[in-house]
Structure formats: structure tokens, C-alpha cells
């Protein structure tokens, strides 16, 4: 599982020209699932995201986590995080989990973050989405299991 995490001032996702989710300060997480991922993988990365200290404290140091700052999460399913571009010019997506497994583990990841008390909104699994964000920092981190 890969989570491409961006600290944001705000982020939103639209499907068919209609906004389906929006968040204030916190994280935008693009979430990719591969064949070997399990519910345990999803729970582990959810816990890591919640505890990750990348928000500034009173001295401007990255010492606060998402719950510490009352932040929110916009989670967006993103199978293209498993694109293989080593050969040719057209990416292969064979490392991405099949849709049923991807959706199940994306939902498990979201449930893990919610269980920690973080407000979560999501994109639409399998939809063509337009994601808008305002980076904060920018701070961009790849979490991988």
C-alpha cells in the first residue's frame, strides 16, 4: 500500500463537475493498493498517518500530528500510484490491486483513520475525479508498507 500524503490548507474533489468532498487544514492522501496488501497493511498505514508529526508547534517545528492540530483528511483512491514505467512509454498497472480488493482496503484505511477520531471525507472509488488542493509548506511524504 502506498499513501502519497500532502499537508494542505484545503483540498476538494469533484466528479462530473460536482464537488463531492472538501476539507480544511490537514492532509490530502492519495491511496494506492497492491495485490499483497491486507487489512493489517491498511490499519498500519492509517495509524502511521494519524501519528505522523508534520504540523508546526509553537516554535514552528514539525512536532504535531493531525489530531493535535484538529486537522481533517481527504482520502482519494489512486490506483496509478502502482504504475510501472520502467519499460516503454505507456505505464503498466499490473501491480495495482484488482478493483474489489482496492476498494475494500481503501475503505479499511479510511475506517482506521476515522477510528482514531480524525474527520475523513473521500473521493469516489473508480470515478474520474478532479482534485484541487492548496499545499501547506509544501510538505509531501510517501508512506509505504
Report, as residue numbers or ranges, the catalytic residues: 78-80
Compute the chain's Rg from CA coordinates.
15
Amino acid at each position: 500500500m502506498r499513501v502519497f500524503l500532502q499537508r494542505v490548507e484545503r483540498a476538494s474533489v469533484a466528479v462530473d463537475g460536482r464537488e463531492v468532498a472538501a476539507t480544511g487544514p490537514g492532509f490530502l492522501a492519495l491511496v494506492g493498493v497492491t495485490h499483497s496488501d491486507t487489512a493489517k497493511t491498511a490499519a498500519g498505514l492509517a495509524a502511521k498517518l494519524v501519528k505522523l508529526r508534520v504540523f508546526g508547534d509553537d516554535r514552528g517545528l514539525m512536532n504535531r500530528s493531525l489530531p493535535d492540530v484538529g486537522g481533517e483528511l481527504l482520502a482519494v483512491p489512486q490506483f496509478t500510484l502502482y504504475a510501472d514505467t520502467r519499460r516503454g512509454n505507456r505505464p503498466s498497472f499490473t501491480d495495482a490491486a484488482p478493483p474489489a480488493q482496492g476498494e475494500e482496503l481503501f475503505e479499511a484505511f479510511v475506517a482506521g483513520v476515522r477510528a482514531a477520531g480524525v474527520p475523513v471525507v473521500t473521493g469516489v472509488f473508480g470515478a474520474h475525479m478532479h482534485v484541487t488542493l492548496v499545499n501547506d509548506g509544501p510538505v509531501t511524504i510517501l508512506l509505504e508498507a
